[in-house]
């Protein structure tokens, strides 16, 4: 699954680095992508709504504040990059994109997420870093296919109980938030391979249940994080603990 989504991510990232309006290289047979990155757009490009076979769309680095209802017609869309715009409210029309696997709304002004986001059952990667999120919907645990979740640089003070229902999560970044602890339900994230909690909160504590995460390979922390002693036995076997003292 990681290889498949990595391929999709690479296809989407072509939009970030190439200035052409249409890119198809590396997307694969029958795949089509559009790139409107850094165009100074204040309105969504209508050209993007004309091809319902579109699978990847990047409108990174513009000045968008909302999305048109017609976006819901792009039912083949699998990758959507909307980072570095001016969204202060999550555009709920995104929730109607039933095929979406990769979504980025990083570097915006979001302070909350709608419950409908948690109904997007095919989401695999979700990038929400560098926003102003104060809390997450409890139903976020319904995203059973989610493998990567980036929440770095928000204003989160706690995670809802339902968060620990993300049973397929492999990479979680909580760095630079205002959390104080992780619940013992952390053990429910059985597939977790990488946990980033550097600057996650002052004197941030981690429960002993972290030691039951058999696939955990990398833990990013800083000196204020309080770790259970059991974690150091794992460090000598499979786990790399990286300290970021920035």
DSSP state of 35: E
Low-confidence winner among 12-21, 98-107, 152-161, 189-198 (lowest mean pLDDT)? 12-21
Band of pLDDT at residue 135, cut at 50, 70 and 90: very high
Residue boundaries of the structural domains of the chain: 2-243
Spatial distance between the Cα atoms of 94 and 79, rounded to a whole number of angstroms:
11
Band of pLDDT at residue 1, cut at 50, 70 and 90: very low
What pTM value is reported for the model? Answer: 0.87
Fold annotation for 2-243: 3.80.10
Distances (CA, A) of 83 to 4, 36, 70, 72, 112: 22, 12, 20, 19, 16
Band of pLDDT at residue 37, cut at 50, 70 and 90: very high
Q: Which residue has the higher pLDDT, 245 or 182?
A: 182
Spatial distance between the Cα atoms of 155 and 87, rounded to a whole number of angstroms:
16
Which whole number is the average pLDDT over 158-171?
A: 97
243 pLDDT above the threshold of 50: yes
**Res 30: pLDDT:** 56
């Amino acid at each position: 699954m990681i290889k498949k989504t990595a391929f999709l991510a690479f296809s989407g990232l072509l939009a970030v680095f190439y200035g052409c309006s249409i890119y198809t290289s590396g997307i694969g047979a029958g795949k089509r992508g559009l790139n409107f990155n850094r165009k100074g757009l204040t309105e969504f490009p209508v050209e993007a709504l004309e091809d319902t076979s579109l699978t990847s769309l990047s409108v990174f680095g513009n000045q968008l504040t909302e999305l048109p209802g017609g976006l819901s017609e792009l039912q083949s869309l699998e990758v959507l990059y909307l980072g570095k715009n001016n969204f202060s409210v999550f555009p709920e029309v995104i929730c109607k994109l039933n095929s979406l696997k990769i979504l980025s709304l990083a570097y915006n002004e979001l302070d909350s997420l709608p419950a409908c986001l948690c109904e997007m059952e095919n989401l695999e990667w979700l990038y929400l870093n560098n926003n102003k999120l104060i809390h997450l919907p409890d139903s976020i645990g319904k995203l059973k296919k989610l493998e990567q979740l980036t929440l770095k640089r928000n204003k989160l003070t706690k995670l809802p109980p339902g968060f620990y229902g993300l049973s397929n999560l492999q990479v979680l970044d909580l760095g630079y938030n205002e959390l104080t602890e992780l619940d013992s339900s952390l053990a429910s994230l059985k597939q977790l391979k990488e946990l980033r909690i550097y600057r996650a909160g002052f004197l941030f504590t981690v429960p002993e249940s972290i030691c039951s995460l058999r696939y955990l390979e990398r833990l990013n922390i800083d000196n204020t994080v309080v770790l259970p002693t059991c974690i150091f036995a794992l460090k000598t076997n499979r786990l790399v603990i990286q300290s970021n003292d920035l």
